[in-house]
Amino acid sequence: MEFSRVTTAKAVTAANGELAWNKDDVASAIAELIATNFAVLGGEVWLAVRKAEIPPLTQLNDKRFILGLIKGKDGKDYVFHWDCEKKADETWSEYVKRSGQEALSHIRKMNVEDFVSPEFAGAVYYNLTYINEKEWADLD
């Protein structure tokens, strides 16, 4: 899947090429996935930091580190993720639409930006895992 230049420009890019968007921009990425018939299998929340005190997941192209273990305001560590499985009686088109809607719903409900320490609220990004129908069929 190749996102539009506008959507790609709004993303942060990990050293491995994966993209992630902030809460304001992730909806446009999900809309492009739906429009091109890709389902959102799930996603995870990344925290982009300048200095990693724990082993990072990866590094961003701008030299920030990505953490998957996120410290909440309560001082405890959390991992935020979601998934969306295809229902047996669901057409591919139905799954694509539902998976996009569920991704947006999970992102809103998690409300990670308000959960983390205030200094990290602007460093929260959402990485999406997605698949098209041919790739899905090839999994069997």
Establish if 137 belongs to a structural domain: no
The domain in which residue 32 lies consists of: 5-131
Establish if 77 belongs to a structural domain: yes
Establish if 109 belongs to a structural domain: yes
b (16+ CB within 10 A) / e for 83-98: ebebeeeeeeeebbeb
Establish if 99 belongs to a structural domain: yes
Domain of 45, CATH number, reads: 3.30.190
The answer to pTM > 0.85 is yes
Establish if 78 belongs to a structural domain: yes
The per-residue pLDDT for range 24-43, each reduced to its tens digit, is 999 999 999 999 999 999 99
**Residues contacting 120, CB < 8 A, separation 6+:** 47, 49, 70, 71
User: pLDDT over 90 for what percent of the chain?
Assistant: 72
Domain count, the chain: 1
pLDDT at 51: 79
Average pLDDT in the chain: 92
Establish if 136 belongs to a structural domain: no
Establish if 96 belongs to a structural domain: yes
Mean pLDDT of the 117-139 span: 94
The per-residue pLDDT for range 53-68, each reduced to its tens digit, is 766 777 787 778 888 8
Tell me the range of 56-60, 95-99, 111-115 where mean pLDDT is highest: 95-99
Q: What is the DSSP-derived secondary structure letter of residue 71?
A: E
